[in-house]
Amino acid sequence: MFDTALTWNDLAFLAQGAGMTLAVTAVAVTAGTVLGILFGVIRFQIGPYWSAPLTLLLDVFRSVPLLIQLVLGNAFQSIAKLGWGAFTTSGVVLSLYTAAFCAEIVRGGISSVPVTTRRAARSLGMTWWQDMRYIVAPLATRVSLPSWIGLTLGVMKDSALVLWLGLVELLRASQILVTRLQEPLFILLICGAIYFLLSFPVARLGGYLEKRWSPND
């Protein structure tokens, strides 16, 4: 018969860790998406030559491993005496990391809109803002959505690295229980199941929206 030392308090501890994972992910995805849209539009609008400094900066965030970014970000805020806590530091670094990838998703989505479609909109008297809002945004969103959903799920899993800054998120909570109870397989199985439960609704929502916005509908 299966026996375990895991208690309801331990499960509540894992739930608290899952809550921290969701909080960090929500901050990173929200702020990163807003910045990514801004950076993506800027890169598309002003061209590759004038956006070269921004492109280089985004390349750095895409190329350097996230763990190194978290460690350097924490060291920088300490040297600069910003007084940020672990959650704030994690949120800022993860947001910039997310924005770097989201910017390329947005730029690619905008680039997928045919030039002739945009010219037709402008010939009808639409302003740049109206063109972007009513023509480009709906078409680009359809193209960008699958990649954005994948990015969101990736950030949720990558958020486990914030444990190096001292945040007790889901993976760190499971490690603490493994050390105390010495039941690694069972506890990590529960941890994996929780990650799945957190990720599955996001993936299904993305699939639903993609189907709903399909051009064939």
Interaxial angle between packed helices 8-50 and 137-158, expressed in degrees from 0 to 180 and rounded to the nearest 10? 130
The residue extents of the domains of the chain are 23-167
Check residue 214 and report its DSSP letter.
Answer: -
Residue 63, pLDDT score: 92
Mean pLDDT value across residues 50-55: 84
99-135 per-position pLDDT tens digit: 999 999 999 999 888 888 888 888 888 888 888 888 8
Q: What is the mean pLDDT of the chain?
A: 88
Say which CATH topology domain 23-167 has. Answer: MetI-like fold (1.10.3720)
Mean pLDDT value across residues 138-167: 89
1 pLDDT tier (thresholds 50, 70, 90): very low
Cβ neighbors of 198 (< 8 A, separation 6 or more) are: 18, 21, 22, 156
- Spatial distance between the Cα atoms of 91 and 70, rounded to a whole number of angstroms: 10
Assess contact for 144 and 108: CB atoms under 8 A. yes
Q: Quick one: tokens of 73? A: 């970000």
User: 125 — alpha (psi -120 to 50), left (phi > 0) or beta?
Assistant: left
Assess contact for 75 and 172: CB atoms under 8 A. no
User: For the whole model, what pTM was predicted?
Assistant: 0.88
User: 167 — alpha (psi -120 to 50), left (phi > 0) or beta?
Assistant: beta
Residue 21, pLDDT score: 93
Q: How far apart are the first and last CA of the chain?
A: 53
29-40 per-position pLDDT tens digit: 999 999 999 999
Residue with tokens 């949120």: 91
